[in-house]
Chain A
Amino acid sequence: MSAILSADDLNDFISPGVACIKPVETLPKEELKEPNNAYEVTTEDKVPPPPDAPPAQISLTDCLACSGCVTSAEAVLVSLQSHSEVLNALDSTPSIDPQLLAAAARGEQQNGLGEGRIFIVSISPQTRASLAAAYGISEQQAGYMLEQLFSGPQGIRSGGAYKNGFTWVIDTNVAREACLVLGADEVKESLAQSSSNEQAQGDNPTHPKRPILTSACPGWICYAEKTHPHILPHLSRLKSPQALLGTLLKTSLSKRLNISPDRIWHLAVMPCFDKKLEASREELTDLAWQTDSQSQTKQGIRDVDCVITTKEILMLAESRGIALHDVPRTPLDPSTRVPFPDPTLDSFLFPSLDHPRHRNAQSASGPSGGYLYHILCTYQAQSPGSSIEIVRGRNSDVVDYTLKDANGGVILKTARYYGFRNIQNLVRRLKPARASRMPGAAARRLGGASRKPGMPAAASSASSAGLGTDYAYVEVMACPGGCTNGGAQLKPIDLVASSAPAAPATSNGGANADLGLDSAPTSGTATPIASSGTSTPQQQREWLARVDEAYFSASDDEGEGETVGTKSNGTAAKIAADNVNGISPAYIHSMLTHWSNTTSVPLDRLAYTTYRKVESDVGKDRDKGRETERVVELAGKIGGGW
């Protein structure tokens, strides 16, 4: 523990974690550590820190991705997405006149659409559930409230430079249903392929490796790309509902109205900070689907321009001087509705109220979209007499779902893994054994493949156990409790402000609070505490139960299934014909085909995406000397030595 840092020791501090801005922001105040700490500051004396020390930045605190590895570039991308960015966008240009849009929808070509942008917002069901729990209203009422806020006369339209608002408010559930159908297709195709051609697996990039892992959770994707590149071949290639909806809106509108995608401004409201990171991915811009070659050189235009979170809804309302609890919880006047310019997509994006599609998942499908459950239902529909066996694991966030035939034979083995700790166990099982780390053990390993306690243990590193490979599919989400418990959902502490009417003085609307960073009053010195200084674990559980109840209530309200009234187009008949888990694959496929045909872009480029290993640039491509200074500085400060 002395101050002698050898060259070897310096290496101790070159790791991805150091690259993160978090250590910068947690540097202790200098005066605290000076006098009697000579044993660890001497090296700093020898290597004075660079005078232009990087400024501390505020980054995400609630997300998994920032457990030491959000890069500063990402932090900037994220900080650009805030409720004030929404207001800036609205104030930068007027909305395109709805009359002109309606005319375009009817196919009456006039002289263009004039100036301005089309503003569209898509809202996640988890956001509605969080607000419903906060205000003690139903999830549907929360949905109406948000429609009124974004689009209604008493909402944000009541202020701002152009008195403009959002032309369309879309439920991301519609895109989720397309994702569920495509996700089930992907699993079927991948499993069929892997069983018919075992050795080709992994060589073929068009299908993920078994077990296929859900890729809709951006925190999980970010973590996997940075920390566990070995699992990337397992990831579902399907876009998330947020991303798919973004692509759908931008492609179809820009083609149909013949406008540039940057004249469509798409906001998503999500339960999760990491969705901002997802929206910033260059894979999810028009570069992925534009067909004209000239666009290839410029910077891409995002499919989702901005993501704000449930927490930021409160700030958005406050910034416009709107009391959210005073916003009507009733539907907008249907006569003011602007039809989407494509009738097929119009009925897809805006299903009628009594349509079976207008609902969240059933509780069996979980709080995160229900990917796993829909796959099981798809297989179950093909296997009469089969049943789903549900076995809870070590904790409530690990659940095995096994589809068994009438004789108890296993048809499909799948699981749900939520939360960082459980993800650890999953990725470890999927990790190739690292024999190189154990020179001595490697030799023995060959002889002792099947060992029992008492046999010379092979270097399993808990990896070759193969538990993970039993699964065909695993629904992975970074947050314990799934998406209803997203990092940016309202917490009990947030309610203190929101439930007190006419208390705008509690505003956290300043620029630094844009990310919704812990707007709670810091809880000071009190012992005992609750984790993250907000509320006790019991309170958190009770709260989450209320949010889940609101989330699932949307389906309970309507009972099971038989409400097949629909507003147009005769889609009801199709739904009744091949209903799987309340969704008609044929209908979804026909919509997707229509989308691909009208935009002249293959579905493969519209609905799927890619992942890449992200490597830290610390210790690489940089001035070595400077890097050493930085490392020594951090070594002295962040860890307090050894």
Chain B
Amino acid sequence: MAASPTAPPTSAGTLKLIAPLTPPSSTRTWLTVPHHSLPLVATATSDKTVRVYSLRSFTLHSTVSGGHKRSVRSCAWKPGTKGESVLATGSFDASAGIWRRWDMDMGMARERDLTGGVDEGDEEEDEGWRFSVILDGHESEIKSVAWSASGQFLATCSRDKSVWIWEEMEDDNFETIAVLQEHEADVKCVAWHPEEELLASSSYDDTIRLYREDIDDWTGIAVLSGHDSTVWSIDFEPAKPALSGDSQADASDRARWIEAREASGPRLVSGSDDRTLRIWRRRPKQKQPAPPTGQGRIPSIIRTHSIEEDWYEEARLPVAHERAIYSVAWSKRTGRIVSTGGDGRIVVYEERWSEPKGNEEKTDGLNPEGTEASDLPVARTTWSVVASIEMAHDVFEVNHVTFARRFDSGRTSDDEEIIISTGDDGQVKVWTVEI
């Protein structure tokens, strides 16, 4: 089902470069992740370091180095920390690292009250970054790392086809609590559900797999098949759905749609080498409000409900890439989706209420087999491209793209959103969407 070659989407909007982060890396950069509260981003770099940049000044803040023997492929800020920032790194040297730094050392205390534009000041000797734990176990290159929403679990995945889950114990100790070997090939990406302890992974075997803890074993609960090639990137929808666009549809229909969406919970978006972006949605279980987790459950004989979940492909986004999609992100603020890939293009999509009736949108929700029509909400939504840009990193491939909050002096509101792209050219660029 490979999509046919696509012209650049002729959408109205574009992306405007706010600034590159300086100085750029002299080697390939892989991925950039924003801090959950501080105006910082961390960029995984193939020179074995992580570069931390300020989103106020767009300059290098500090460098996390000295721990990995090969390219740092991925990194993730532990969510919810206060007073101390914790960064997990995943490297091609098959190890993951946990790094800590006091936020006082971040130079943030004095900066927080200002409106921005302040230099982070003296480039301290990066004394502040402490390499606290090495997580060994994978046999080959780690491709992705992700913290669960609570910060209790860290997931890592590797070319060795496995997904590992680590639990942080007291005193800087991490324990392996699961080694999931269900994929048949290189695992490219891991992502946690924003509310539940549900882990997703995507692979070179073209599938996405979901896992959950059952009694005390993490186990596969669903396989999402459909992509025709490597699934490079996955991301969950934020807990609260955000739809934009005018309300053509009837208000009560929209309410029903939202109700149905809340019953299924956050959806998942996937981006693939087959150049498609797909939205996956859980089919709610009958009269089972919350999937069981944790311990102390009655033994399985008495349980009538399976832990397995049924996820189906709800929609495809308009095809807007000519080559592999390497990265996709779902905005926590606006509900938009952004994608990028081997064609150097960055594309922003938005979900809107469909025209009531009549219009047969190609990108509209696919009616899943076996679903009775009455199960489907009357109001329907459509994904469309709202902005895009060509050659975002000149001729280079773009490896990663994400949303972040805007902190620099040019911002117009507290909640303004920016897009950050990371390229093979060692550049990290900050964009704003102009529609």
Which A residues are closer than 8 A to B by beta carbons?
Answer: 1-2, 11-12, 15-17, 26, 28, 32-33, 36-37, 39, 67-69, 227, 394-396, 420-422, 424-425, 428, 431, 434, 437-441, 444, 451-453, 456-457, 459-462, 465, 467, 480, 525, 527-532, 536-538, 541-542, 638-640, 642
Contact = CB atoms under 8 A, between A and B. Distances in A.
B143 interface: yes
A37 B273 contact: yes
Nearest to A536: B306
Given A12-B70, A536-B306, A17 B396 contact: no
Given A528-B310, A529-B220, A68 B160 contact: yes
Nearest to A227: B139
B293 interface: no
Please tell me the size bucket of the interface on B.
Answer: 35 or more
B82 interface: no
A37 to B, nearest CB: 7
Please name the 10 residue pairs, one residue from A and one from B, whose CB atoms are nearest each other, closest first: A528-B308, A457-B132, A395-B216, A640-B204, A424-B176, A538-B300, A461-B134, A639-B186, A440-B66, A528-B222
Interface string B222-248: 111100011000000000000000000
B186 A640 contact: yes
A439 B69 CA distance: 12
B223 A527 contact: yes
Given A452-B171, A462-B173, 13 more contacts: A15-B140, A37-B324, A39-B324, A420-B179, A437-B69, A437-B134, A440-B66, A451-B172, A457-B100, A527-B310, A528-B310, A638-B185, A639-B186
B177 A460 contact: no
Contacts of A457: 100, 130-133, 172
A395 B294 CA distance: 11
17 contacts: A1-B397, A1-B399, A1-B424, A26-B184, A39-B342, A428-B137, A441-B66, A451-B172, A452-B171, A456-B130, A457-B132, A457-B133, A460-B173, A462-B133, A462-B135, A465-B173, A537-B307
Nearest to B66: A440
Interface in B114-152: 130-137, 139-141, 143
B172 A395 contact: no
Contacts of B70: 11-12
B407 interface: no
Nearest to B71: A12
B139 A453 contact: no
B35 interface: no
B429 interface: no
B171 A453 contact: yes
Contact of A460 (B132, B224, B229, B397): B132
B75 to A, nearest CB: 15
Query: Which of B159, B182, B311, B399 has the most A CB atoms < 10 Å from its CB?
Result: B159
Contacts of A465: 171, 173
Interface in B336-356: 342
A642 B323 contact: no
B435 interface: no
B175 interface: yes
B178 interface: yes
A15 B141 CA distance: 10
Contacts of A642: 73, 143
A378 to B, nearest CB: 30
A434 B424 contact: no
Interface string B179-197: 1011011101000000000
B290 interface: no
A428 B177 CA distance: 13
B303 interface: yes
Contacts of B301: 542
Contact of A529 (B176, B185, B223): B223
A138 to B, nearest CB: 22
Nearest to A228: B136
A67 B67 CA distance: 26
Contacts of B71: 12
A424 B171 CA distance: 18
B384 interface: no
B370 to A, nearest CB: 11
Interface of B: 2, 66-67, 69-71, 73, 92, 94, 100, 130-137, 139-141, 143, 159-162, 164, 167, 170-179, 181-182, 184-186, 188, 204, 214-217, 219-225, 229-230, 273, 275, 299-301, 303, 306-312, 323-324, 326, 342, 396-397, 399, 424
B145 to A, nearest CB: 15
A542 B215 CA distance: 13
Contacts of B219: 531, 537
B131 A438 contact: yes
Nearest to A434: B134
Nearest to B212: A537
Main secondary structure of the interface of A (DSSP, over half): loop
A441 B131 contact: yes
Nearest to B305: A538
A460 B172 contact: yes
Nearest to B219: A537
B223 to A, nearest CB: 5
Most buried by A among B171, B172, B312, B397: B172
Q: Name the residue among A15, A460, A642 with the largest chain B CB count within 10 angstroms.
A: A642
Nearest to B307: A537
Nearest to B182: A531
B397 to A, nearest CB: 5
Contacts of A456: 130
B217 A424 contact: no
Given A394-B175, A462-B172, A528-B222, A12 B308 contact: no
Contacts of A68: 139-140, 160-161
Contact of B303 (A1, A15, A428, A538): A538
B133 A461 contact: yes
Given A457-B132, A530-B220, A17 B172 contact: no
A434 B178 CA distance: 24
With most chain B CB atoms within 10 A of its CB, the pick from A67, A452, A480, A538 is: A538
B21 to A, nearest CB: 20
Contacts of A12: 70-71, 92, 141
A36 B2 contact: yes
A542 B175 CA distance: 27
A420 B69 CA distance: 26
Contacts of B132: 457, 459-460
A377 to B, nearest CB: 28
A361 B187 CA distance: 41
A536 B172 contact: no
Contacts of A37: 229, 273, 324
Contacts of A528: 221-223, 306, 308-310
A439 B66 contact: yes
Nearest to A635: B159
Nearest to A68: B139
A541 B300 contact: yes
Contacts of B222: 527-529
A542 B300 contact: yes
A639 B159 contact: yes
B156 to A, nearest CB: 12
A170 B173 CA distance: 47
A638 B186 contact: yes
B173 A1 contact: no
A631 to B, nearest CB: 13
B180 to A, nearest CB: 8
B229 to A, nearest CB: 8
A421 B178 contact: yes
Nearest to B132: A457
A1 to B, nearest CB: 5
B139 A421 contact: no
A618 to B, nearest CB: 12
A517 B275 CA distance: 35
B342 A1 contact: yes
Given A465-B171, A528-B309, A640-B204, A17 B177 contact: no
B87 to A, nearest CB: 13
B3 to A, nearest CB: 10
